[in-house]
Structure 1
């Protein structure tokens, strides 16, 4: 019988490597506050007699030593006192001044509790957005010290990069171009289509439209261990939104891969099959979180776009239909019109997500100049289906709705929100992509009419939720106080986007009144019957009904 050695050095080395890989992957895809502090590697999970995981028997996580958690002792009286606050709060014997609060086991709740204790000790209200960006005792000491570092407390957007870096990243590499032996693009109807991002909610509706509007086999790139698991993930995602139909499994091919890796994270054999078989690509995959910095989003949102374009040039030239966002347009005070044209301005395009989509959008249109038929769709803020209300709960807008309902108050803020139903977006993209005869490079896909944030929350109040309308500063103070008290709130993880005086620019520009030209879109949809419903009382009730039915929102007391 083989027995594991208690001090097996090879197993320990392997476990350490796995923990490092998991932490690196998490930091690539999650904001720092959501990265697990510790990873525990077990040979197998303890099970109950019914086969479920016995959570009570799981070992308690313990910190593993690494260069990331190397101890640096406090150097000043302020750092010493702050380190003691952290030790008491986190139950640790010592705290290094250069170690992240989140690496030590803190989370978005305990960082609020820590901020309250620091405020009581020093009479200083911390800039929480800056604290989330660099959560160390050393940083905190500079924030509460008598000599505040202007680089720490000043304005700016830490999740984004400068315009020069955006422009540098938006230069298409020389190797991305159809080779002399590449076959010309196939004419529709297409027999094989590749869809990325097919396990998100926009992806689910795109897949449904592709299946309904064509007879093509749809290859769906998805993170999975093998083909069987990939198929299950794709079909389960369709089922989650009520979109699974009989016979779908015969036309859906799950492809294990990763958009953010070379060759789309597939095996060479699978990549060769895609290059030779696929005739058209819809590239929808993206990290869409507003609180993840540009550097962490770049591998998927920018490099992923490059990998898709490389595939489009291999063996046969393939049209690429890229799902972008109206967030690539700069935010401006007052009214400004944005037509369906190539992007030129980087200033006031802020935050990692919007900037990464700006870069990818620009790369797509450069590839068009080299002979790849690319099309870009700039969608508004994608909301629930106008037919069923089905929607992902994991969007900033939906987290904001729930957080305000949990708080019992919403922020009075002069902001327009462009909500566009997901089924309308999917139908528009699929019709144009499958048609093959539309040559325009850019399509704006906004809502039927923007809504003010106050109007949206009035619809929530009309539905039966008793919300108070508060001045932004009062609302922010109530939100922080609620999280400090340990109350559950959906917005706790988004605190980096809110400051004492105003939200971060990613949330939106107050007073901005953009107008989106849709001449190309309207020409392409003419006669199709595809129409966008306005977000009015009737449609918003459909959305809220869905959230209540799924348990995302509690039933309103006054309904």
Structure 2
């Protein structure tokens, strides 16, 4: 199973060697399975790695020696909706849009309510489709709004002669502030059980950690292991406890921070943060609720390009489930990792204090809105007696000592996209870049200290202008032209529509014609983040962020070159040489 369409062999329970050619149950089962697999892949993998097609076989063909006979695998064919799921086009516009989709995707039939990606679409083909629709209707597709519901039905409403103003006028993607306020109401049962064991302030014997298979999670696990003696219950998707521990180990090894003997203090919990009761059976849930004395909740779906409802299961409902668990059997302090992105975008200067978030007006984009809701829910739980703390770091970047850095963040996708295009844009953005190891040290220290529940900001040592990153790439020898935003975007769109592989293709819905969408940030915004509580909590520890300056950016970029994420520059250049 991969983006190169490797067939998947799954034996259906109760199936026989001989199947009826017109078996409707088999067709329905296969359609459901493919949908489930695609949903799981989207939740587990970066967008670029989600398979385009899934092929279901009774069994894999084998050679006499038992190995898979790849030459005998059936040819791939695009998936089409089952007959009972198909709704034919009802208008001339829907018919024309459906024909465009059929041509782009190579399918014979497109239902008006079948999602583009369920038919085999991906980030590149969606751009080709948008270009074809623009040619057919002389209308530019607002991909941000289309991707909220990627169907022919919605697209026809957007491009028709009487386009729906709700879909064709501008505005941020996401839900409205009133809905966010309703979403941020904590369920009534999320409050400490009257007979629960009181919370302890440490030292802790058992700590539950979510998100341990992610980038920040790797460093949190490292710091929690190094700064205390507790066993760590690591909750993640996996076949069983051993598989979860193996995934956590592989994650730490990837960043070079696994130590011999770590597995002796790791206990895997195979679950799913986005499912009710964390995807655990009753016995496991009760055991975790009884054993864990502290929770570090870091798991999140951090994709900026998905709508609120898609990010909600993990980011909002998962946080509710963690808070619910904290109230059962034993009261458990919760340390929730949020983001400065939960604040509303404000033009000009503003100072945010370490308090509950302001009103959601101005908080846009699915990811940022889910973080606003989750942050607000954690504060509501604190008001009900749950000892819950919130941490709001800026944009996490590489480790201060090794430069080890995740590649699946917006700023790193932006850097690679610039290099692939050979051009970068000039734009007045400021970035709060926070080294991941500093963030983990600060959270682990405060969590293990048994401090009273509080809210902390973790900005970087200084704010970085985006232009600094561009200039540094050029100074390192990357032959980048620097362009005004509009010209740069035109080149990027033309390259992607022409079939070029560019890291920024999935972000095109957030790159409007005249400026980036508010999900990315506001030009001219100058937020400051008060750190009074954080400074007091870290006093005397020596825990401090390194300045993200030329030397540290060198370290990060050379790490990317070492792992092959960026090509080595042709040669260092003595001067900028840009066409500013």
Moved more, 540-549 or 24-33: 24-33
**In the alignment, which residue of structure 2 is the partner of 1:232?**
246
- SS in structure 2 at match of 1:102: helix
In the alignment, what sits opposite 2:56? 41
Aligned residue for 2:513? 500
User: 1:500/1:382 Cα in 2 relative to 1: closer, same or farther (>3 Å)?
Assistant: same
Paired position in structure 1 for 2:541:
528
Distance verdict in 2 for CA 1:118–1:270, change over 3 Å: closer
Aligned pair in 2 of structure 1 residues 178, 539: CA closer, same or farther (>3 Å)? same
TM superposition score normalised by structure 1:
0.93
Matches within 5 A, 1:480-559: 480-559=493-572
Indicate how the Cα distance of structure 1 residues 533 and 57 shifts in structure 2: closer, same or farther if over 3 A, else same.
farther
Match of 2:445 in 1: 431
Aligned to 1:322: 336
Name the SS of the counterpart of 1:180 in structure 2.
Answer: coil
* 1:334-381 deviation line (CA, Å, top 9, x unaligned): 110011111131111111111111111111111112221111000100
**Post-superposition offset of 1:90:** 2.8
Q: Give the structure 1 partner of residue 204 of structure 2.
A: 190
- 1:294, 1:356 within 8 Å by CA — same for their partners in 2? yes
Q: Alpha-carbon deviations, 1:47-96, whole Å to 9, x = none? A: 789998766554314424337851413622x5444444333333333434
Comparing 454-463 with 400-409, greater Cα deviation is found at 454-463
Give me the whole-angstrom Cα distance separating, in 1, the residues matched to 2:330 and 2:538. 28
2:142–2:509 contact (8 Å) kept in structure 1: no
SS at match of 1:254: strand
Q: Residue in 2 aligned with 1:455?
A: 468
CA contact (8 A) 1:386 1:533 kept: yes
What's the CA shift string for 1:388-432, capped at 9, x where partnerless?
A: 111111111111110111011111111111110000000000000
Aligned counterpart in structure 2 of residue 346 of structure 1, from 338, 360, 365: 360
- 2: CA distance, partners of 1:511 / 1:529: 33
519 and 197 in structure 1: CA distance in 2 versus 1, 3 angstrom threshold? same
Distance change (3 Å), C-alpha of 1:128 and 1:34: farther
Q: Which moved more, 1:254-263 or 1:197-206?
A: 254-263
* Structure 1: gaps of 5 or more residues: none
Q: How does 1:220-369 map to 2 (within 5 A)?
A: 220-369=234-383
Question: Is the 2:343–2:358 contact (alpha carbons within 8 Å) kept by the matching residues of 1?
Answer: no
Task: Give the Cα separation in 2 of the matches to 1:31 and 1:291.
Answer: 12
Give a deviation string over 1:173-208, Cα, whole Å, max 9, x none: 221111221111123111111100000010000000
Query: Quick one: distance in 2 between partners of 1:476 and 1:176?
Result: 46
SS at 1:337 equivalent: strand
Say if 2:76 is the partner of 1:63.
no
User: Does the 8 Å contact 2:27/2:82 carry over to 1?
Assistant: no
Q: Which residue of structure 2 aligns with residue 175 of structure 1?
A: 189
Give the secondary-structure state (helix, strand or coil) at the position aligned to 1:297. Answer: helix
Shift of 1:434: 0.6
Distance 1:100 1:412 in 2: 35
Structure 1 SS opposite 2:468 = helix
Q: Is the 8 A contact 1:383 1:422 kept in 2?
A: yes
Whether the 8 Å contact between 1:38 and 1:64 is mirrored in structure 2 is no
2:130 aligned to 115, 126, 134, which one? 115
Residue ranges of structure 2 left out of the alignment (5+ in a row): 1-14, 573-580
The one-character-per-residue Cα deviations of 1:238-285 (angstroms, maximum 9, x if unpaired) are: 111101101101001111011111221112222121111111110001
Residue 80 of structure 2 contacts residue 109 of structure 2 at CA under 8 Å; is this kept in 1? no
Where 1:194 maps in the other structure, the secondary structure is strand
1:104 aligns with 2:127: no
Counterpart secondary structure, 2:338: strand
> Structure 2 CA distance, aligned partners of 1:68 and 1:152?
28
Q: 1:65 to 1:376 in 2, by over 3 A?
A: same
Give the equivalent residue in structure 1 for 2:8: none
CA contact (8 A) 2:46 2:408 kept: no
Contact conserved, 1:31 with 1:292, CA < 8 A, in 2? no
Q: After superposing the two structures, state which structure 1 stretch, 98-107 or 448-457, moved more.
A: 98-107
Matched, 1:406 2:416: no
Distance 2:216 2:427 in 1: 28
Match of 2:161 among 116, 126, 146: 146
Partner residue of 1:208? 222
Cα offset, 1:132, TM superposition: 3.5
C-alpha contact 2:148 2:307 (8 A) present in aligned 1: no
| Residue 93 in structure 1 maps to residue 115 in structure 2 | no
Give the whole-Å Cα distance in 1 for the aligned partners of 2:143 and 2:411: 21
Rounded to whole Å, the distance in 1 between the matches of 2:84 and 2:476 is: 49
The count of residues paired between Structure 1 and Structure 2 equals: 555
The CA distance in 2 between the partners of 1:53 and 1:471, in whole Å, is 53
